[in-house]
Amino acid sequence: MIRVDRDVAVAVVTVDREDALNALDASTLTELRDALGHLAQDDDVRVVVLTGAGDKAFIAGADIKYMSGLDVGQAKEWGALGHEAGGLLETMPKPTIAAINGFALGGGCELALACDIRFAATGAKLGQPEVNLGIIPGWGGTQRLARVCGLGVAKELIFTGRVIGADEALRIGLVNAVHDPVLEKARETAALLASKSPIALRMMKELANRALGGDHASNLKAEAETFGELFASEDAKEGMTAFVEKRPPAFKGR
Ligand code: COA
């Protein structure tokens, strides 16, 4: 099952299937996709944190027992469902943070990669071991790992299926920081982001998501355009006025 806990503007989404190390079967992944869809549209939610129940696993991947019975058509649908969940994390108009509290393997690593920011517990283990099952990463791993860590590092990890610890993940840029307890670090960062202008965050996320694709010149043009348009927002006026008046800004999201 999926738990959603709200703390003012921060929503913590917990994949809770501890007896299977939070591996995602069809009902859990569907529930996760639906929960993310609702949070994406809820303007009162400013930041979304994704984590796993217990202290052993973030998400140990797609449920292999479930996948072993799929035919080609069903496997395509299964892949599409995972991509929907990843797509929501990547494109929802607010920051998403993965709090990786243990195994983040296969689909678990892929959903973490779809988040904007990743933090890991010291005992976390990350990897794309699909090759050992005779399959390939199917929820974005062949693309997003390269975007986050570089193509050479990504190829080695997906070709070998090697599972790495938190220290190596930090060194290769797969996670932003290593901290125990990891949820505390994620909540702290989420609270910080929730205090910023949600309009500025939304615009930055949209623009930053274009950084590694499309046409560089038109992406820069879009940034210049958006920068100017933001000056119509109350938040921009508040932020700059607060600086001049030497007081903290109070952003309203308008
Ligand atoms: N799918 C289905 N069940 C899974 C699972 C997965 N991806 N990962 C773990 N589980 C289940 C195990 O089958 C086991 O259930 P059981 O007690 O009914 O047999 C339970 O979770 C505990 O896992 P177990 O393997 O006993 O724990 P461990 O500490 O010995 O090993 C892992 C942990 C993560 C190394 C091991 O479970 C593993 O390799 N999982 C698969 C990871 C993977 O390949 N993910 C990518 C899928 S695309």
Which residues have CB under 8 Å from 246's CB, separation 6+?
Answer: none
CA of 20 to the centre of ligand 1 (A): 6
- Which residues neighbour 46 within 8 Å (Cβ) at sequence distance 6 or greater? 9, 10, 94, 95, 193, 194, 198, 201, 253
Distance CA 149, CA 118 (A): 12
Predicted pLDDT at 165: 98
Q: Note the Cα 90 to chain centre separation in Å.
A: 6
Catalytic positions, please? 110, 130
Distance 153 CA to ligand 1 centre (A): 25
Per-residue pLDDT reduced to its tens digit, 82-116: 999 999 999 999 999 999 999 999 999 999 999 99
What pTM value is reported for the model?
A: 0.98
Q: What are phi and psi of 23, to 5 degrees?
A: -65, 145
The parts of the chain modelled with pLDDT lower than 50 are none
Give the three-class secondary structure for 238. helix
Residue in 17, 19, 21, 22 to alter for ligand 1 test, most ligand atoms within 8 A of Cβ: 21
